[in-house]
Amino acid sequence: MKKVRLLITLCLFTSVSAIAQYQISGKITEPNGDPIPFASIYIKNTSKGVSANADGVYKLTADKGTVVLIFKAIGFKTFERKIEVNTNVTANQVLTTESYTLAGVTIRSDAEDPAFEIMRKAIRERKKHLNEVSAFSAEVYIKGLQKLVGAPKKFLGIDIQKSLELDSSRKGILYLSESQSFFSFQRPNKIKEEMVSSKVSGRNNAFSYNKASDMIINFYENLLLEGSGLSSRSFVSPIADNALFYYNYKLLGTTEENGSTINKIQVIPRRKNDPAFRGVVYIADDSWRLMGTNVFLTEDAGINFVDTLNISQEFNKVENTYLPSNMKFQFKGHFFDFKFEGYYVSIFNNYNIHPNFPKKYFTAEILKITKAVNKKDSLYWANSRPIPLSEEEKKDYRKKDSVGLLKTTKRYLDSVENVNNKFNLGKFIIGGHNFNNRYAKRYVHLDGLVRAISFNTVEGISLKYGLTYSKTLEEERNFSIRPQIRYGISNKIFTANLTGVYLYNRQKRASITASFGSSIEDLNPYGTMSLRSNAINTLLFETNLAKFYKKEFATIATARELADGLQGSLSVNYAKNFTLQNTNSFSIRDVKDREFTSNNPFTPTVETPLFPTHSSFNINAALSYTIGQRYTTTPYAKRYEESRYPRFLLNYRKGFKDVLGSDVDYDFLSFEVYQERIRTGLVGYTSFVIGTGKFLNNNALFYPDRKHFRGNNSTVFPPNLRKFRYLDFYQYSTNRHYIELHLEHNFAGFILNKVPLLRKLKLEEIVGFNYLNQPDKRNYKEFYFGVERFGFGLSYGYAFDGRKNVDQGFRIAYSLGL
């Protein structure tokens, strides 16, 4: 009975406590009635606050009693207002434009603007303010919105209004999401975040991947937006140590705020195309700290994907320091006839700058998203979001959430798939065809015929065709089965194989793969070129670069994450290998002084067997470890971040003699270190690979089991950091030892950005070096230089065998999967 009374008492106490919370709401406007979007509203002497929405409307909760609200917006005078809270309160607020005066400041035409001295002082204090807070925790709310504000009626034959669910003027929201999380930070770069709630318009079971760490841009750092994807280079902060080389400054005026003098300073890039911001920063006298920013990056600064990016920050006092409270990224851009814009805004609340983090609190997991985060109902969001929805956003949620529920029903999915699964011959020939049952999560893909047909001198016209069946199970586990056949019309060889993959734990990247059958394979297992590219070279240029053999095989493999950043794999492989010969010499063009070579790369003028028919049984084990690997955990999977540190790969392969009739006997050990996109600030990034290996035993070893390299005999090739640009595909595969090095630096436009006619192309300069040393190819070197953009590149290089120049010429890199 006592327990019952206690429970009733607790419930009553909880109810009374809930009733004591009231809502303060209103609209923030200019004197003329125009709304002030994204203004900040804080309860004085706390770090609890909210933001107005795009229409200037705000809502916050407060305890019963007297509270003082602080209304802030960049460019407007801060206003404090005392409010008595004993019921829900409507408190509209008008903010007047901040008046910044130059009273008492005389600026002669031949004198330096006073802003320079203010900024010098701010630069001298930069490190102090950067390290002022060594750790903190906070509650974070993020809202993201992307929308089309203009679009063509049709694009590539697709009705844009219908396919993107736009209004009659072809405008509308494409993406709307909200998230709340608890965020922790410790210098220099330790972060930990746990998402509390998540909502994505029209996708009731989806998670937003908003991260608080992505919203933090700290202008006390010298370089900003490294690795953001906006550009291959970084951008210089207006208060960086070397900022005076990149910026001019102009004092626009001063004002008084809470007893402090705030300087409004315009920042102007010294050169139009410098990696610098333009806009306004606010600096406090005496402390010389940032009090706010409202700056822009434009195409002139070298950003990609958007035309303009606006970054604005407001700072709130936390004890004796100031921390960002409201951060907003707004962007605009265009793509063909599509015009888009959007924003991401974040609110940081309830700062704790004296957190007592336990040992091992920070791990490789930087963001945790659990199953419960997207289960919050509309009442929860109405009471907890610190930025009210605008009318446009409310409409989008109502429309897309109801449609989203409909789209998960069996009746809707069946009706859609009755249309989509209808066979179309033209579509099937070009891209293949899908038969999907999304309700049952079963999918079948038939390969397209265009990619299935190719030509080479071994098979003549060949047909390589397959289909893939996949099924998604509970907890995002899935399996797929792929049967595939191949037939050469000229050599009349038919092969068929079956491959199955079972991904049984996505969080651990754990899978089992099994395959068996027969196939036609490239002599270089890394692949020399695609079947289509080889067919083009063969038919049009009378150059048969790819060489093939036949194998009958069975393989079983498994892979799994063993620890954070450590991945292990093991495979058991059996193969019976057969050499092949050319059987067709047809070409569309007869190129003067050129003839097809044999299928043996070592005897190009005569067909001889490269190796005898033999069997091979081997086991291959590999360990991959990435230093500092960080990831986001979702309910059933991990999303890995690009590491700032190298990755190591250790591989051991052993061939067993007399097992299942195997003819091989060898042991091969290799080790590799590599890292891509090592940031070098304003001069781009560097990537490298260093690999070495040795056959500890090569008592019985045939060509397919050698160590092969990624060579290239073609002018046009797919880019790959490990790929040599002038090395023969097959000649230098080794059965002994080797060392190889690949190094490339991308200057990210550092040079060409200074050339007026070229800077508009946003080309990125590259220089590279490849090196190979093995018993049959000592001190082979390649040097190249060129330009690239979005995976396409043109370079010129030289190849040296020792000191002898053995090749040179242009290379064209592409990423079309030809």
Confirm whether pTM is higher than 0.85. yes
The per-residue DSSP string of 49-94 comes to EEE--TTSEEEEEEESEEEEEEEE-TTB--EEEEEEESS-EE--EE
In the three-class reduction of DSSP (H, G, I as helix; E, B as strand; rest coil), residue 632 is classed as strand
Band (105; pLDDT cuts 50, 70, 90): low
Q: What is the pLDDT of residue 9?
A: 37
From 776, 679, 793, 677, select the one nearest 725 (Cα to Cα). Answer: 793
- pLDDT surpasses 60 at 11: no
Question: Within a domain: residue 204?
Answer: yes
Question: Taking a C-beta distance cutoff of 8 angstroms, is the pair 230, 256 a contact?
Answer: no
Instruction: Tally Cβ neighbours within 10 Å of residue 390.
Output: 18
Please name which of 730, 706, 703 lies closest in space to residue 611, comparing C-alpha atoms.
Answer: 703
- Mean pLDDT computed over 680-692: 94
431-466 pLDDT tens trace: 899 998 888 899 999 999 988 999 999 999 999 999
pLDDT tens track for 88-97: 989 999 998 8
pLDDT digits (tens, 9 = 90+) for 774-789: 998 999 999 999 999 8
Q: Environment class of residue 393 by beta-carbon count within 10 Å: exposed (0-12), middle (13-18) or buried (19+)?
A: buried
Query: Which helix (H) or strand (E) segment is 159 a member of?
Result: strand 158-159
Q: What is the pLDDT of residue 104?
A: 59
| Mean pLDDT across 138-146 | 94
Residue range 467-478: mean pLDDT, rounded? 93
For 343-369, what is each residue's pLDDT tens digit?
999 999 999 999 999 999 999 999 999
pLDDT in tens, 665-684: 999 999 999 999 998 888 99
Residue 435 in any domain: the answer is no
Assess if residue 429 is contained within a domain: no
List b or e across 660-677, with b for residues whose CB sees 16 or more CB atoms inside 10 angstroms: eebbbebebebebebbeb
CB 274 within 8 A of CB 246: yes
Q: Is the pLDDT of residue 309 over 50?
A: yes
Q: Is residue 419 part of a domain?
A: no
User: One-letter amino acid identity for 710?
Assistant: R
- Clarify whether residues 260 and 381 are in a common domain: yes
Q: How many helices (H) and strands (E) does the chain have?
A: 12, 44
Helix (H) or strand (E) holding 316: strand 308-318
- Residue identified by tokens 């965020």 is 183
Q: What does the pLDDT average to over 309-335?
A: 91
Q: Are residues 139 and 277 in the same domain?
A: yes
60 assigned to some structural domain: yes
Domain-embedded: residue 422: no
Query: How much is the pLDDT for 75?
Result: 83
Residues present in the chain in total: 818
Q: Which residue has the tokens 């929805």?
A: 389
Dihedral over alpha carbons 228, 38, 266, 132 (to 10 degrees): -70
Same domain, 42 and 120: no
39-46: average pLDDT: 86
CA–CA dist 370, 375 (Å, integer): 10
Which of these three, 625, 660, 695, is where a domain ends?
660
Tell me: do 789 and 706 sit in the same domain.
Answer: yes
User: Does some domain include residue 411?
Assistant: no
Q: Which CATH number fits the domain that encloses residue 59?
A: 2.60.40.10
Whether residues 381 and 497 share a domain: the answer is: no
Residues contacting residue 199 through CB under 8 Å, at least 6 positions apart:
177, 178, 179, 208, 374, 376, 381
Q: Do residues 389 and 486 both lie within one domain? A: no
pLDDT confidence band for 623 (50 / 70 / 90): very high
Instruction: Give the residue, 418 or 741, on which the prediction is more confident.
Output: 741
- How many structural domains is the chain composed of? 4
158-162, 205-209, 218-222: which has the minimum mean pLDDT? 205-209
Same domain, 280 and 195: yes
Range of weakest confidence among 28-32, 399-403, 703-707 = 399-403
Average pLDDT, rounded, for the chain: 90
Q: CA-CA distance, 814 to 723, in Å (whole number)?
A: 13
Residues 728, 596 share a domain: no
Domain final position from 610, 630, 660: 660
Per-residue model confidence (pLDDT) at position 228: 74
Residue 393 and residue 388: Cα distance in Å, rounded? 9
For residue 654, count other CB atoms closer than 10 A to its CB.
Answer: 17
Residue 65 lies in domain = 2-94
Neighbours of 114 (CB within 10 A): 18
Q: CA-to-CA distance for 543 and 587, rounded, in angstroms?
A: 9
Question: Do residues 712 and 769 both lie within one domain?
Answer: yes
Contact 322, 316 (CB under 8 A): yes
Regarding whether 733 and 616 lie in a shared domain, the answer is no
Out of 352, 385, 405, pick the residue that ends a domain.
405
Q: How confident is the model at residue 107 (pLDDT cuts 50, 70, 90)?
A: low
Together in a domain, 284 and 326: yes
| pLDDT tens for each residue of 184-203 | 999 989 999 999 999 998 87
Pair 36, 121 in one domain: no
Q: What is the pLDDT of residue 653?
A: 98
Q: List the one residue out of 624, 517, 506 whose CA is nearest residue 570.
A: 624
